[in-house]
């Protein structure tokens, strides 16, 4: 491959990210990573980090590619290969031992166990290392992972829909449809499909009974990840969520209800029923009547049992829920959709 052209490198890096996005949510609080092996401008092997604890993309690719590695082959990967023994062996070992001679990477790994040492290890082994290529795109793509490693909390986006006069619902609190279909397609494609979880307060469930899925992106075939369902997280301190709520009727295993660790007798009965339905109920303390936002974020980003944590959260309302997040100061992005 006359491979030194930046556009070739960027195209291959883009492909790495497309593959990596297939692991969104399944990789838990880890990074989304894709890898491609390119020979004479053609991809001859590809893989991605499929789920929490599974082989990293480049190791998976090299384990399954049984062909000969040629000196001009380039291994592309959107995140610096790791060089430490974690849940899987170091990727640098797999790269060096398979005889790869050229590696192109997208961004340095902010995990302090790696942080440039993966690149150094490859260079010390005589491998030509090219990059970072498309660094800003790679960092934004993995902004949840970067946020967790740099700040210890997930990436947080607030999304609200308002009328031109600033209303989010009718005066009596009943549902007001604000966005049109084009806006719904956009937000399902670029917001919901790009976050690990969607979070709402229980009053929004009571009032609006949302599905909190990505149906508009799927319907228009705009998402590359089919049937993607982010975690649906409901803040519900006393478990008053209606049993007929859409988030409890469909895809229950993706629903997390965050509740108080000091439930009343009635609350405990409701908790047992939710457990029986396969809904995840997670408990934290109330502090002066509310959950502290850092407690919520720690709960949601920490792996436990078969929940592997999340790294990005879309906070969809309503007002009281937004207020809690705003006053915490933990907001990275804010999107206002203005309806007619």
- Residue ranges binding ligand NAP (CB under 6 A): 160-161, 168-169, 173, 175, 178, 200-204, 207-208, 235, 237-238, 240, 290-291, 316-321, 324
What is d(CA 300, CA 199) in angstroms, rounded to the nearest whole number? 11
Tokens describing residue 136: 């800003």
Q: Tell me whether residue 85 or residue 302 sits nearer to ligand NAP (CB atom).
A: 302
Cα gap 20→17, rounded to integer Å:
5
Q: Choose between 187 and 193: whose C-beta lies nearer to ligand NAP.
A: 187
Nearest to 316 by CA among 219, 220, 179: 179
Look-up of token digits 């790294």: 311
How many Å from the N-terminal Cα to the C-terminal Cα in the chain? 52
Element (H, E) at 328: helix 319-328
DSSP code at position 290: B
**Annotated catalytic residue 58:** yes
Residue from 10, 40, 51, 58 carrying the catalytic annotation = 58
- CB nearer ligand NAP, residue 31 or residue 293: 293
Quick one: tokens of 327?
Answer: 């006053």
Secondary structure class of 244 (helix, strand, coil)? coil
In whole angstroms, how close is the CB of 54 to ligand NAP at the nearest point? 34
Closest by Cα among 93, 91, 85 to 105: 91
Q: At CA 26, angle to CA 18 and CA 260, rounded to 5?
A: 135
Distances (CA, A) of 335 to 22, 132, 137, 157: 24, 29, 19, 7
Within 91-170, where are the H helices? 91-97, 117-124, 135-141, 143-151
Q: Supply the minimum distance, in Å, between the C-beta of residue 18 and ligand NAP.
A: 30
Q: Smallest distance from the beta carbon of 241 to ligand NAP, in angstroms?
A: 9
Looking at beta carbons only, is 157 or 204 nearer to ligand NAP? 204
Question: In whole angstroms, how close is the CB of 266 to ligand NAP at the nearest point?
Answer: 13
Q: How far is the CB of 275 from ligand NAP (least distance, A)?
A: 19
CA distance 216 to 145: 26
Task: Give 68 or 177: the residue with its C-beta nearer to ligand NAP.
Answer: 177
Contact between residue 88 and residue 66 where contact means Cβ atoms under 8 Å apart: no
C-alpha dihedral, 304 to 203 to 332 to 218, nearest 10°: 80
Of the pair 125, 337, the CB lying nearest ligand NAP is at 337
How near is the Cβ of 258 to ligand NAP at its closest, in Å?
Answer: 8
Q: Among residues 132 and 237, whose Cβ is nearest to ligand NAP?
A: 237
The rounded distance, in Å, linking the Cα atoms of 238 and 201 is 12
Give the shortest CB-316-to-ligand NAP separation in angstroms: 6
Least Cα distance to 301 among 311, 313, 286 occurs for: 311
Q: Which residues are catalytic?
A: 58
């Amino acid at each position: 491959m006359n491979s030194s052209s930046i556009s070739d490198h960027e195209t291959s890096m883009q492909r790495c990210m497309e593959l990596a996005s297939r692991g969104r949510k399944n990789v838990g609080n880890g990074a989304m990573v894709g890898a491609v092996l390119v020979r004479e401008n053609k991809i001859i092997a590809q893989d991605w980090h499929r789920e929490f604890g599974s082989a990293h993309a480049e190791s998976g690719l090299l384990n399954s590619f049984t062909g000969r590695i040629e000196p001009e082959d380039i291994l592309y990967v959107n995140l610096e290969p790791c060089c430490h023994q974690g849940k899987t062996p170091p990727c640098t070992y797999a790269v060096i031992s398979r005889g790869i001679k050229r590696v192109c990477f997208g961004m340095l790994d902010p995990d302090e166990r790696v942080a440039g040492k993966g690149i150094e290890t490859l260079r010390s082994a005589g491998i030509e290392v090219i990059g970072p290529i498309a660094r800003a795109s790679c960092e934004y793509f993995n902004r949840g992972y970067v946020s967790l490693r740099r700040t210890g909390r997930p990436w947080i986006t607030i999304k609200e829909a308002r009328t031109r006069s600033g209303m989010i619902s009718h005066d009596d609190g009943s549902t007001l449809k604000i966005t049109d279909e084009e806006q719904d397609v956009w937000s399902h494609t670029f917001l919901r499909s790009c976050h690990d979880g969607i979070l709402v307060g229980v009053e929004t469930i009571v009032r609006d009974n949302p599905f909190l899925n990505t149906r508009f992106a799927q319907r228009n075939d705009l998402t590359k990840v089919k049937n993607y369902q982010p975690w649906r997280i409901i803040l519900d301190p006393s478990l008053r969520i209606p049993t007929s709520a859409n988030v409890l009727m469909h895809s229950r295993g993706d629903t997390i209800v965050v509740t108080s660790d000091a439930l009343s007798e009635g609350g405990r009965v409701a908790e047992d029923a939710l457990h029986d339905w396969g809904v995840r109920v997670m408990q934290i303390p109330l502090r002066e009547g509310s959950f502290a936002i850092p407690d919520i974020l720690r709960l949601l980003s920490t792996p436990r049992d078969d929940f592997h944590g999340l790294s990005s959260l879309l906070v969809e309302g309503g007002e009281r829920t937004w207020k809690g997040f705003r006053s915490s100061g933990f907001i990275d992005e804010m999107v206002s959709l203005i309806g007619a």
